[in-house]
């Protein structure tokens, strides 16, 4: 069965809404997704800007644990260089105990200089901090004890309470785009989480490398890759296209500004080579074309069209997990709600029946 969830971005891109209004609307989407039968709801971590404002996704998931019944609760992701590993492990265990084992724990490295500077961390430290913190936390969640002797997070041995209720193997996720992150996800026995910015076929080299490394490290077939993608569903295909491209373009431009994706500051920065190449590409083709190319990779249109897009991804990738971003670019929440409901009614049951063969090297 294809697992299908939603991702909440907590962007403040609609000037008619206060931050409080936006928060309640996003949380209502999560409750609705639980009622409609989606498998998971994922929550980002971002700071300081309208692009996205959710400074602690584990706190927010603890709230959703009390408002939902069966949907799994995921972090997409906890940005480890911004957080103390001991506190991440403690909060993860607390949320998992509260929600009865529904927590899916995703980690990321982060990329925005605008977020790193207030934390007084430079971008050249992000790789080292992540690679030190991630295995330390994952080990702690299995043993109930955290300790470390690394450069960034020297940690005396401490027993964690509440204790682990069950293993997090199978519930580990890692956002991976750069080659180093792809390898680390495989080595940590985490599911690779990818935010789709280009056609899936263009991303296959990274996905294949993850699968090959996972099998070599653990002697078993890699789990399905988790794809995150914007989605707008409507019975009228032309209206869907019009709205989708309007709001996706607005989201894309906000993304470019927040991450300075067309900037030159990635050049020569260790661990950021991929982003330097992407930035040069954006400068070459122009942001308008880049935005339209990005919009074309997302899921939009009638239920039949979207189901066809999902089938195409399955044919290219094999089994995968799908996470939909139903609200983006300042889209009115009544439109996001209607799209989410239509997808659940017309696409979700059929998409779940799609199954490719497990991909093994």
Sketch out the chain's domains with CATH numbers: 4-352 (3.20.20.30)
Q: Kindly report, residue by residue over 90-144, the tens digit of the pLDDT.
A: 999 999 999 999 999 999 999 899 999 999 999 999 999 999 999 999 999 999 9
Mean pLDDT score of the chain: 94
357 pLDDT higher than 60: no
- What is the predicted pLDDT for the residue at 353? 86
- What is the predicted pLDDT for the residue at 266? 83
Q: Kindly report, residue by residue over 170-229, the tens digit of the pLDDT.
A: 999 999 988 999 999 999 999 999 998 889 999 999 999 999 999 999 999 999 999 999
Q: Mean pLDDT over residues 234-246, rounded?
A: 96
3-state secondary structure of 127: helix
1 pLDDT higher than 70: no
- What is the predicted pLDDT for the residue at 361? 37
310 pLDDT higher than 90: yes
- What is the predicted pLDDT for the residue at 213? 98
262 pLDDT higher than 80: no
First to last CA, the chain: 22
DSSP string, 147-184: EE--SS--EEEEE-SSPPSS--TTSEEEE--SHHHHHH
Q: Mean pLDDT over residues 144-171, rounded?
A: 98
Which are the contacts of 32, defined by CB distance < 8 A and separation ≥ 6? 337, 340, 341
Residue with the larger pLDDT of the pair 226 and 356: 226
89: nearest Cα among 41, 8, 157: 157
Q: Kindly report, residue by residue over 44-64, the tens digit of the pLDDT.
A: 999 999 999 999 999 999 999
């Amino acid at each position: 069965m294809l697992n299908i969830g939603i991702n909440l971005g907590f962007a403040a891109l609609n000037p008619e809404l206060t931050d409080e209004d936006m928060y309640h609307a996003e949380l209502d989407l999560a409750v609705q997704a639980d009622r409609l039968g989606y498998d998971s709801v994922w929550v980002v971590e971002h700071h300081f800007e309208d692009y996205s404002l959710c400074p602690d996704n584990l706190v927010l998931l603890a709230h959703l644990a009390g408002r939902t019944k069966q949907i799994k609760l995921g972090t997409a992701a906890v940005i480890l260089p911004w957080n103390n590993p001991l506190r991440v492990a403690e909060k993860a265990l607390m949320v998992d105990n509260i929600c009865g084992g529904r927590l899916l724990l995703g980690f990321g490295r982060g990329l925005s200089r605008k977020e790193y500077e207030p934390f007084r961390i430079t971008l050249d430290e992000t790789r080292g901090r992540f690679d030190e913190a991630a295995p330390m936390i994952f080990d702690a969640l299995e043993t109930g004890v955290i300790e470390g002797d690394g450069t960034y997070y020297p940690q005396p041995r401490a027993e964690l309470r509440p204790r682990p209720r069950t293993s997090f193997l199978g519930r580990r996720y890692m956002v991976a785009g750069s080659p180093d992150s792809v390898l680390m996800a495989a080595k940590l026995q985490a599911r690779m989480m990818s935010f789709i910015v280009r056609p899936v076929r263009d991303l296959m080299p990274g996905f294949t490398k993850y699968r090959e490394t996972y099998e070599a490290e653990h002697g078993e077939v890699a789990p399905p890759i988790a794809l995150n993608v914007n989605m707008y569903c409507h019975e009228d295909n032309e209206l869907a296209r019009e709205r989708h491209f309007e709001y996706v373009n607005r989201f894309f431009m906000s993304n470019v500004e927040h991450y300075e994706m067309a900037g030159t500051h990635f050049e020569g920065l260790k661990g950021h080579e991929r982003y330097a190449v992407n930035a040069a590409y954006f400068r070459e083709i122009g942001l308008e074309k880049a935005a339209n190319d990005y919009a074309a990779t997302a899921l939009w249109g009638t239920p039949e069209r979207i189901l066809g897009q999902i089938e195409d991804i399955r044919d290219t990738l094999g089994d995968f997990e799908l996470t939909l971003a139903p609200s983006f670019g300042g889209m009115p929440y009544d439109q996001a709600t209607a799209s989410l409901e239509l997808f659940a009614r017309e696409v979700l049951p059929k998409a779940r029946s799609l199954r490719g063969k497990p991909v093994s090297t």
